[in-house]
Each structure stands twice: as structure tokens, then as C-alpha cells.
Amino acid sequence: MNETELADAIRRGDAEGFESLVRSEAGRLLAVTRRILHNEEDARDAVQEAFISAFKARQQFSGGAKVSTWLHRIAVNAALSKLRSLKRRPEDSIDGLLPHFLPNGHYAGTSDAWPEPVDEALARKETARLVREAIDRLPESFRMALLLRDIEGFSTDETAQLLGTTPNAVKLRLHRARMALRTLLAPHFGGPPA
């Protein structure tokens, strides 16, 4: 089915259209929910809830976006809702991971540069694993801002809406998350941030 046929089939509640949608999008949605929830069972539950929500809201799909984009947003919302419903532990402080500055404004550490371009480093499998592990170490609110904005590609306003906060709070969390991520990765790439 092409995009228009799929959208029409979904709005009609066509079983074949939904089956096609599940087959084509389930893997991608599971990857997204895994990144958010860090638990296979919870991630699968979130994907299932996303498909159920999509079916229930099928008449509201206007066709202004691709079906996959619409479903992606529903899956992110389902994962975030599940995350909120899980027993939350107190969030760790991110301050120890941020760069420190002297009273005169200069960086308190050394400014060693990473020896290879980041894009080349990220291409390597081992580096990708290190990055995923470093992201997982970030406190939840910072990790979610980074995942939604930088990895899932939501706009700042969309991320704020998904997280139930303001765009300025998202910008602050995102900046701090990126700085903390750089600190966590520095031992693997040659030193602290410049």
C-alpha cells in the first residue's frame, strides 16, 4: 500500500491496513520505546499500547503527516506515560558530570581535544556502545530531553509538550545533558571538554 492508501485503510479500520502498519513499523517503534524505557517487557507493552491507541484514534488521523510519523509520536507518548507510571526513584544530580569553571570564567580542567572527529568515532560499533551506555547513565529528565530532541528528532516545542514542561526547560536540560555526555565520554576520547 502507498501512503494514501494506508492512511485511508487505517481511518476505515481496515484489518489488512493495520496488519501492514504493524509489520512495517513494530520494529522501529520497539527500538524507540526500548531507548526510553530500558526494559524489554515495558517497551513491548508500550508498542502494543501505541497500536491500540492508534486504532482507537484512527478517525482523528488527518493525513497531515505520514502514518509512520503519527504512529511514532503515539509510541513515544505511550513510552513516556509508562515511564511516568513506573515507580520513580529519586533522580541523581548531574552537577558532577558538568564542566567546572574558575571564578574568572576559565575552564577549571585541561582542554584536551578529542584525537579523531566525533562522526568517525560514532561510526565504530564499540563507540556506539559507549555512547549508548553514557546516555543511559544520565538522570532520567536529562536523558529523555536528549533522546527526544537529538535522537528521535522532535522539535524543542514537541519535546516540551511530550515531557510536560516548557521549551526553555528542555533547552536547559538538553544543554546540560550534552555537556554531561561529553564529560562521560571524555575518558574514551582523550580528555575533558574544551
* CATH architecture designation of domain 95-189: Orthogonal Bundle (1.10)
**Residue with cell string 564499540:** 126
pTM: 0.59
Question: Rounded to whole angstroms, how far apart are CA atoms 25 and 75?
Answer: 10
pLDDT (tens, 9 = 90+) of the chain, 194 residues, equals: 677 787 888 888 888 888 888 888 899 999 999 988 888 999 999 999 999 998 888 888 877 778 888 889 899 999 988 888 876 656 677 777 777 777 877 777 765 666 767 667 556 677 778 888 899 899 888 999 999 999 888 899 989 988 888 999 999 999 999 999 988 888 887 655 55
Query: Given 1.10.357.10, 1.10.287.3610, 3.90.1150.10, 1.10.1740.10, which CATH number is that of 3-85?
Result: 1.10.1740.10
Asked if the domains 3-85 and 95-189 are classified in one and the same CATH topology, the answer is: no
Residue ranges of domains in the chain:
3-85, 95-189
